[in-house]
Amino acid sequence: MAWNEPGGGKNNNQDPWGSGGGNNDKNNGNRGGKQGPPDLDEALKKLQDSLNGLFGGKKGSSNNGGGNNRSGGGAGIPKAVWMIGGLVIIAFWLFSAVYTVDEQEQAIVLRFGEYHRTVEPGLHLYFPPIEKKFQRNVTQVRSYRQQGQMLTEDENIVEVPVAIQYRISNLENFVLKVEDPETSLRHATESALRHVVGSTSMHQVLTEGREQMGVETTERLQRYLDTYNTGITVVQVNIESAQAPAEVQDAFDDVIRAREDEVRERNQAESYANGVIPEARGQAQRLLEEANGYRDEVIARADGEAQRFNQLYVQYEMSPEVLRERMYIETLQDVMSSTSKILVSGGDGNNNLLYLPLDKLMQQGGGGSSSSSSSARTDSTTSDAQSRMPVQIQQRDLRSRESR
């Protein structure tokens, strides 16, 4: 580091000494300047004699460094010792006096307590103890959060968490103008935020009003900070999700649930409607189709029957008698052949008491033998005897007719 710099360091620090002495109108008696009174110089030398080796205060040591350049060394102490001591002191002093200001930083330097200069990034030198420096990062965005319960305009209580981002924009003000600027920032934030929340309705605070509130709070907070000269710039005020206090959170949640219930009820009803109405339309369709089917059916039947009749009628007109006879006989033949029959010769009323065991006949399942031996009847369980029964009756009837 500075091991190869003592020579340069000496030149370096002689120059400022000169200028330092020149800058001050006052006569710095306790400083080894060229204008210093000789008796004082003498006295200092004596002082060094006694203090050699004990470099206590920096004040003393820097004086020694200053004084030593011109002094020829004290009595009884070898020059070399003075030299080495002086060099060590100068090195120490340099070590503390040279400082770097980072790219993100600024430093301010006070000389004799008075604001002297603001230092931009780079390698710099200052002169403790007559100068003091404050060095802070001025580009870094710092942030903190706070939260609390506060009153809204409509006298409700809400819980509002807020995150503040800020940076030190004016180091001079930050350091010199306000006691504890960051506490001031916290106070001001609280005040500004509550002011804004206090003039907003709860609904706004909890819902869409947050962004607007953030903007208003930022503006108000910055105004306070500028009034106080804190040297702080607010980058952003971010009002995070404000919510109702825990004591009433349940009720608020219930409102949300209620909204969902509302939607659910409506959806259920709509799904019911969506089920019922198409079903009804389907039923309606069925009714119409059935009706259409019926209409087409009856018309077709009518058509068919009418045409059949018409065709028959054409024949009828040609030979009515024969056709009638034939139709009659055919019909009766059909009827007779498919039913059970009992012939009862009525005669001239002499046969006025005739007992027919109709119930018996019925019990036989109406099993009459048809002249057409239809074997298509699968359910026929009738025996031959049974099936011949009406026939026997017939025969008997016929015999009785013959005997008569």
| Subset of residues 17 to 36 that bind other proteins, contact rule: CB under 8 A | 24, 26, 29-30
Q: Which stretch binds other proteins (CB under 8 A): 2-10, 97-105, 235-243, 304-312?
A: 304-312
Among 34, 145, 295, 399, binds other proteins (CB under 8 A): 295
Among 5, 10, 21, 47, binds other proteins (CB under 8 A): 47
Q: Is 28 helix (H, G, I), strand (E, B) or coil?
A: coil
Among 115, 211, 240, 383, binds other proteins (CB under 8 A): 115
Nearer of residues 94 and 108 to other proteins, judged by Cβ: 108
Closest separation in Å from C-beta 11 to other proteins: 26
Sheet containing 131-137: order of strands: 114-119, 105-111, 131-137
Instruction: Say how far apart CA 281 and CA 88 lie, in whole Å.
Output: 107
Instruction: Say how far apart CA 81 and CA 52 lie, in whole Å.
Output: 9
Residue 103 touching other proteins (CB under 8 A): no
Residue numbers 261-290 binding other proteins by CB under 8 A: 261-266, 268-270, 272-273, 276-277, 279-281, 283-285, 287-288, 290
CA 403 to chain centre: 114
Nearer of residues 104 and 249 to other proteins, judged by Cβ: 249
**Cβ(90)–Cβ(65) under 8 Å?**
yes
Closest separation in Å from C-beta 202 to other proteins: 8
Residue numbers 53-92 binding other proteins by CB under 8 A: none
Two tokens, residue 168: 């030190």
Residue 403 touching other proteins (CB under 8 A): no
Residue 358 touching other proteins (CB under 8 A): yes
Residue 144 touching other proteins (CB under 8 A): no
Q: Is 126 helix (H, G, I), strand (E, B) or coil?
A: coil
Q: Is 352 helix (H, G, I), strand (E, B) or coil?
A: coil
**Cβ(66)–Cβ(31) under 8 Å?**
yes
Residue 322 touching other proteins (CB under 8 A): no
Report in angstroms the alpha-carbon separations of 307 from 24, 318, 338. 142, 17, 27
Instruction: Say how far apart CA 341 and CA 368 lie, in whole Å.
Output: 8
Residue 176 touching other proteins (CB under 8 A): yes
